[in-house]
Structure 1
Amino acid sequence: MKGKVLDFNLQEGRGIISGDDGKRYEFEIKEWKEQTPPQKNDVVDFEVSEDGKAAGIYYDSDNSNVSGEKSKIVAFLLAFFLGGFGVHKFYLGCTKEGIIMLVIFLLGFILAGIPSFIIAVIAFIESLIYIFKSDKEFEETYVKNKKCWF
């Protein structure tokens, strides 16, 4: 059955899923079969156990872009064309890292441009990483888990 995570409490290891049938199903973390913990509004596929709880819960394979907040194509283009300025970091919500890249890139020209070149190479590598990850892997790594470097 398909459904949507309404709530999840990591400390208690419990949550609630709203099924497509209009019913709500409680679940425990032991039934979650993905690597990253569930979050509110995750679209999931699950079974209903005999006691009426959700079991065997996975992300819905039909929804590769789970939250739809950030696009890997946009992140790739920003990193490829404006990466030295850290624009892709700001887009992904990594403000501190974006500021670091921007400052090093701009002030790097004082030191014969070597720091600026290094930042540009880092941005290029990140653009390649973004584009070669699957949509789901990009979403989990850079949007949900806020991984800011490589």
Structure 2
Amino acid sequence: MRGVILNYDARTAQGIISGEDGQRYTFAGTDVDGDIRRTKAGAKVDFNNHEGRASSIYVMSGVASEEKSKIVAALLAFFLGAIGVHKFYYGATTAGVIMLVVSIGGAIFLLIPTLIMSIIAFIEFIVLLVRSDDEFQELYVEGKRGWF
């Protein structure tokens, strides 16, 4: 069965899943297959119903939001990174606005700030390419990591 985690308390290792059938199922952290750190409210899961409790829980995505492609983010960083388009793509809006303002304002200062933003974007292009897809989703899409 599929569902969404409504709540998970790491201190007690207990949580609640809302199943696609409209019922709620309790679970323990030991019922989760894989990385327990991905067990967050909003995570989409697949699980077995065992007498009203969820078991054999597999986290399908860290958060119920749409997944983003690290390749698209890397290409945006390479081609439009100086103005922060890649940051807007994966949801780091504040960092994207900073890059956009500094790059546009760079025209006043002989394009030096724009050049600096271009160098940062190129470094981020490389960092995005070497990260695994799961790391990209966890750090940048779910965690809204702004820099590197």
Q: Distance in 2 between matches of 1:54 and 1:123?
A: 43
Q: Percent identity?
A: 42
Q: Distance in 2 between matches of 1:106 and 1:3?
A: 46
User: Which residue matches 2:129?
Assistant: 131
Structure 1 residues 101 and 48: CA distance shift in structure 2, 3 A: same
TM-score using structure 1 length: 0.72
Q: Distance in 1 between matches of 2:141 and 2:76?
A: 15
Q: Distance in 1 between matches of 2:91 and 2:113?
A: 23
Q: Distance in 2 between matches of 1:28 and 1:145?
A: 24
In terms of fraction of residues, the more strand-rich structure is 2
CA-atom RMSD, angstroms? Answer: 3.3
Correspondences of 1:81-96 after superposition (within 5 Å): 81-96=79-94
Q: Extract structure 1 runs of 4+ deviating beyond 6 A.
A: none
2:128–2:136 CA contact under 8 A, matched in 1: yes
Q: Distance in 2 between matches of 1:101 and 1:67?
A: 24
Would you say 1:28 and 2:50 are equivalent positions? no
Deviation at 1:7, TM superposition (A): 1.8
2:6–2:18 CA contact under 8 A, matched in 1: yes
User: Which residue matches 1:59?
Assistant: 59
Q: Distance in 2 between matches of 1:145 and 1:89?
A: 12
Deviation at 1:52, TM superposition (A): 5.7
Structure 2: segments with no counterpart, 5+ residues: none
